[in-house]
């Protein structure tokens, strides 16, 4: 039996602002759309946090036995410099500054994006469509919205009529904004805009003569607005209604709000059942963002070539760091936090390695089924990876006690313990065992020599010398652990 039939997953729905039992539209299938990158520059670590969470969600759905269609788009046109439909297209601007073709910009940063995700052990999405690959479909959706009276054309550009939509719908249903408050807080248009109202947003923009990226349409040679691409690509590949739409919290308004309005007027249906938003990653106490220069690139973490961190860290340590905070909470990035995560990650990997050295007994003194259930309960509670990790560390303690002979485990329970840890650590969290084995230092050699001398003292029942070696090592921060397989040590 598939695991999803025995696990009740609850998801925090940004639309209802509450945790809801997940019920897919079609039993056994999940349709999930996540807003991907605008490929005009390198993705920074803050961007990666969002995609990393949805990679874990994708992995957990697959682990539960669902058949998943995961769609994550590439924005390669239409994303202007601000949300007021003004300024240059971000990709066209980068092309102008670098004196290359816009599609060269797109290719360069799409390749970089994929390389970074590969380094961080992401599963590829089922489909990765591009905005420029769906211009025809965007034009067709705009035609329907126009025909239904929820948009208007002015001087070759087409705008969505937010006030008209709000007469029969709630524009602001996702973000909790009230259109009346927005009107009161907005200054009148200065006469230079084609919009009827400041709240309206572009579905199609007429291209100025100097604009490189342009396509023919019934209204003008131009380009689509930013919001329309996701409405088109999500519904094309997942249907008029689908299960999950995700992205960063900064996309909730206006991007996702506009998506709802477009889809609702186009099909007459609410497009998405569960909206999921990840929170921000902070650096130096401030939001990580390209616009402010307050960011670090994922590749810089792996090489250590940056001014923020004390050394290089592995991709799995960064994943582990991210998963130690709930995706809906703000996470503060620092060298100290990564160092702490690295220690925890190494302990976890050491415990998994020690699993193969455990000899089972006839019966168990630890409750493996209850521990396994707690792991699933954590993930079923809105993908609560911090709680899951706390349960994984409960198993680390048990493994160490089993190795030392302080606990016992039956063959069946040992099998369940191994299977469960491997499933959650590798399959769900997406960690790799990339701990680098360090060459033994001179200090390690000295400690091993003292452990050997202590054993000889114990064999000769020279308890005073044995205790002296143990106590003096402890004073130096070296803790000895005696077990059935000999003596091991840890350092503070």
Q: What range defines the domain where residue 85 resides?
A: 10-278
Distance CA 375, CA 379 (A): 7
Q: Examine the fold and report which residue of 402, 428, 454 is the final residue of a domain before the chain moves on.
A: 428
Query: How high is the pLDDT of residue 437?
Result: 57
Of 98-107, 356-365, 466-475, the poorest mean pLDDT is in 466-475
Annotate 174-199 with DSSP letters as a single string: TTT--HHHHHHTSPPP-SS---SSTT
Residue 1 lies in a domain: no
Q: Indicate if 244 and 334 belong to the same structural domain.
A: no
Query: How high is the pLDDT of residue 189?
Result: 46
Query: How high is the pLDDT of residue 169?
Result: 96
The structure's pTM equals: 0.88
Residue 212 lies in a domain: yes
Q: Tell me, what CATH number does 403's domain have?
A: 1.10.730.10
The more confident residue out of 183 and 194 is 194
Residue 409 lies in a domain: yes
Q: Indicate if 40 and 81 belong to the same structural domain.
A: yes
Count of domains observed in the chain: 3
Query: How high is the pLDDT of residue 492?
Result: 63
Residue 382 lies in a domain: yes
Query: For residues 287, 290, 294 and 300, what is the CA-based torsion angle, rounded to 10 degrees?
Result: 120
Q: Indicate if 63 and 201 belong to the same structural domain.
A: yes
Q: Indicate if 240 and 349 belong to the same structural domain.
A: no
Q: Indicate if 33 and 57 belong to the same structural domain.
A: yes
Q: Examine the fold and report which residue of 227, 257, 278 is the final residue of a domain before the chain moves on.
A: 278
How buried is 61 (Cβ within 10 angstroms: 0-12 exposed, 13-18 middle, 19+ buried)?
buried
Of 102-106, 123-127, 245-249, the poorest mean pLDDT is in 102-106
Q: Indicate if 61 and 206 belong to the same structural domain.
A: yes
Q: Indicate if 121 and 221 belong to the same structural domain.
A: yes
Query: How high is the pLDDT of residue 81?
Result: 60
Q: Are 201 and 85 a contacting pair, CB within 8 Å?
A: yes
pLDDT at 116 > cutoff 90: yes
Residue 3 lies in a domain: no
Q: Indicate if 287 and 265 belong to the same structural domain.
A: no
Q: Per-residue pLDDT averaged across 360-367, rounded? A: 95
The more confident residue out of 53 and 475 is 53
Coil, helix or strand for 83?
A: coil
Q: Per-residue pLDDT averaged across 204-216, rounded? A: 91
Nearest to 54 by CA among 107, 122, 145, 156: 122
pLDDT at 185 > cutoff 80: no
pLDDT at 188 > cutoff 60: no
Of 141-155, 206-220, 339-353, the poorest mean pLDDT is in 206-220
The more confident residue out of 315 and 462 is 315
pLDDT cut 90: percent of the chain above it: 74
Q: Indicate if 274 and 287 belong to the same structural domain.
A: no
Q: Examine the fold and report which residue of 244, 259, 278 is the final residue of a domain before the chain moves on.
A: 278
b/e map 236-265, b = 16+ CB within 10 Å = ebbbeebbbbbbbbebbebbbbbbbbbbbb
Is omega for the bond preceding 254 within 30 degrees of 0, making it cis? yes
Indicate the helix (H) or strand (E) that contains 100: none
Q: Indicate if 364 and 230 belong to the same structural domain.
A: no
Residue 40 lies in a domain: yes
**Confidence label for 50 from pLDDT (cuts 50, 70 and 90):** very high
Q: Tell me, what CATH number does 145's domain have?
A: 3.40.50.620
Q: Indicate if 266 and 356 belong to the same structural domain.
A: no
Q: Per-residue pLDDT averaged across 21-39, rounded? A: 97
Phi and psi angles of residue 263, each rounded to the nearest 5 degrees, phi first: -65, -40
Q: Where are the alpha helices (DSSP H) in 102-155?
A: 102-119, 135-147
Of 114-123, 236-245, 288-297, the poorest mean pLDDT is in 288-297
Highest mean pLDDT range out of 87-91, 212-216, 418-422?
418-422
Residue 375 lies in a domain: yes
Residue 381 lies in a domain: yes
Q: Indicate if 382 and 472 belong to the same structural domain.
A: no
């Amino acid at each position: 039996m598939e695991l999803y039939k025995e696990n009740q997953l609850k998801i925090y729905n940004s639309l209802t602002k509450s945790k809801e039992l997940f019920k897919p539209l079609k039993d056994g299938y999940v349709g999930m759309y996540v807003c991907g990158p605008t490929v005009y520059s390198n993705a920074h670590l803050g961007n990666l946090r969002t995609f990393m969470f949805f990679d874990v969600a994708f992995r957990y759905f697959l682990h539960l036995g669902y058949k998943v269609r995961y769609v994550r788009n590439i924005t390669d046109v239409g994303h202007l410099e601000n949300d007021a439909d003004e300024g240059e297209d971000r990709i066209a601007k980068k092309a102008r500054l670098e004196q290359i073709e816009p599609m060269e910009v797109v290719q360069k940063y799409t390749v970089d994006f994929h390389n970074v995700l590969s380094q961080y052990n992401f599963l590829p999405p089922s489909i990765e469509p591009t905005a420029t690959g769906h211009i025809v479909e965007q034009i067709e959706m705009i035609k329907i919205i126009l025909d239904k009276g929820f948009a208007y054309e002015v001087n070759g550009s087409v705008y969505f009529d937010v006030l008209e939509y709000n007469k029969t719908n709630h524009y602001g249903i996702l973000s909790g904004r009230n259109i009346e408050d927005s009107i009161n807080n907005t200054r009148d248009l200065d006469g230079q805009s084609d919009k009827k109202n400041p709240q309206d947003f572009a579905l199609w923009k007429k291209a100025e003569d100097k604009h490189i990226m342009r396509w023919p349409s019934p209204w003008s040679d131009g380009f689509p607005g930013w919001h329309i691409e996701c409405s088109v690509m999500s519904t094309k590949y997942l249907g008029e209604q689908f299960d999950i739409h995700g992205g960063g919290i900064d996309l909730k308004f206006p991007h996702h709000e506009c998506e709802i309005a477009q889809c609702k007027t186009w099909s007459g249906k609410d497009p998405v059942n569960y909206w999921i938003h990840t929170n921000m990653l902070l650096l130096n106490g401030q939001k990580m963002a390209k616009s402010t220069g307050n960011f670090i690139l994922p590749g810089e973490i792996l090489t250590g070539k940056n001014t923020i961190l004390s050394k290089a860290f592995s991709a799995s340590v960064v994943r582990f760091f991210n998963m130690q905070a709930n995706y809906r909470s703000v996470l503060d990035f620092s060298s100290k936090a990564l160092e702490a995560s690295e220690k925890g990650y190494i302990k976890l990997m050491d415990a998994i390695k020690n699993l193969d050295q455990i000899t089972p007994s006839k019966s168990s003194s630890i409750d493996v089924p209850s521990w396994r259930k707690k792991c699933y309960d954590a993930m079923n509670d809105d993908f609560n990876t911090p709680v899951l990790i706390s349960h994984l560390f409960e198993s680390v303690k048990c493994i160490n006690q089993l190795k030392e002979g302080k606990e016992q485990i039956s063959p069946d329970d040992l099998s369940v313990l191994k299977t469960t840890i491997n499933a959650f650590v590798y399959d769900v969290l997406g960690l790799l065992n990339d701990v680098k084995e360090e060459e033994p230092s001179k200090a390690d050699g000295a400690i091993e020599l003292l452990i050997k001398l202590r054993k000889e003292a114990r064999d000769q029942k020279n308890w005073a010398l044995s205790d002296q070696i143990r106590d003096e090592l402890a004073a130096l921060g070296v803790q000895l652990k005696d077990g059935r397989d000999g003596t091991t040590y840890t350092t503070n």
